[in-house]
Amino acid sequence: MPHKTMTNSHGSKLELVHRFFSGTGPSYDFIVNFSTFGIDRLWKRRMVNLIPPHATRILDLACGTGISTLAIAKRFPLAQVVGVELRDEYLDIARKKVQELGLRRIEFVLSRAEDYRSPEPFDCVSASYLPKYADLKVLIPALHHMLKTDALLIMHDFTFPPKPYLVWIWRVYFKVLQWVGTPLFPDWREIFYGLPVLIEQTDWVPELRDELEANGFRDIRFEYLTLYGSAIMTARK
């Protein structure tokens, strides 16, 4: 399957999300764990560990099936946790998880991350795998408005390795994933082939940093995770 060129317009990115994830809800948790060799759990644990211990209102953007939302709620049982997700099929799964676990103080909202607004401010906003899809020029000002003073913003996503020997490993990994994963999980074909193109083309790291600085965020920090396969950027209002 030939590589497709990914455009940077928000409309195209929104269409890309729907094309990538349509029909993948039931298998999402398994595929994320399978395709990252369980490392996604470590990345999300790192994000949860960064959340300020005093946080009482936490926003989890692009929450998907609730993997990160539930991890946050379990760590902060007294906090109000809001999960925002674009796809209803994913939220249905997240709500069932919450019901089965008997968790409280969790609210799920169907919305694009850029469109969500809250009258009550948050102590922390966390988002995994969102920056490469988001319209950061709209999202970051909105988040600045919804965060309390000194509140923390945590953004995580995949990154293209900056070192040549890791690029080779990265390309081999996705080739194997395409060859092995596509016959077993045909609903994920679009992601197996399209995601590496998007990761290689996206400039979310410098774009996010620029928007954070332009909107008055401070203490901006960046760290690579696991062989430069993903990264976390944090900032304070």
Tell me whether residue 184 is exposed, middle or buried, using C-beta atoms within 10 angstroms of its C-beta: 0 to 12, 13 to 18, 19 or more: exposed
Rounded Cα distance between 197 and 201, Å, is 6
Residue 5 within any structural domain of the chain: no
pLDDT of residue 11: 56
34 is a domain residue: yes
User: Mean of the pLDDT values across residues 97-110?
Assistant: 95
CA–centroid distance for 59 within its chain = 12
Question: Confidence class of residue 12 from pLDDT cuts 50, 70 and 90?
Answer: confident
Q: What is the pLDDT of residue 9?
A: 52
pTM of the model: 0.93
- Of the chain, the end-to-end C-alpha distance in Å amounts to 44
- Give per-residue pLDDT as tens, 178-218: 999 999 999 999 999 999 999 999 999 999 999 999 999 99
With respect to residue 1, please indicate whether it lies within any of the assigned structural domains.
no
Q: Given this model, what pLDDT does residue 212 score?
A: 98
Tell me if 57 is assigned to some domain. Answer: yes
Per-residue CA distances from 164 to 169, 173, 177, 189, 228 (Å): 9, 14, 20, 27, 11
Task: Write out the residue range of the structural domain in which residue 30 sits.
Answer: 10-236
Is residue 3 a part of any domain in this protein? Answer: no
Mean confidence (pLDDT) of the chain = 94
Shortest CA distance to 40 belongs to which of 106, 101, 126, 129?
129
Torsions phi, psi for 222 (to 5 deg): -140, 135
CATH number at residue 198: 3.40.50.150
Q: Residues 212, 220: contact at Cβ < 8 Å? A: yes
- Count: domains in the chain: 1
Question: pLDDT-derived band of residue 5, with 50, 70 and 90 as boundaries?
Answer: very low
pLDDT number for residue 1: 39
Place of tokens 């988002």: 127
| Percentage with pLDDT > 70 across the chain | 95
For the stretch 115-160, pLDDT in tens is 999 999 999 999 999 999 999 999 999 999 999 999 999 999 999 9
Instruction: Tell me the C-alpha distance between 111 and 96, whole Å.
Output: 18
Whole-number pLDDT of residue 10: 53
Q: Which two tokens stand for residue 226?
A: 């696991």
Which runs of consecutive H residues, i.e. helices, occur in 153-226? Answer: 164-184, 189-201, 204-214
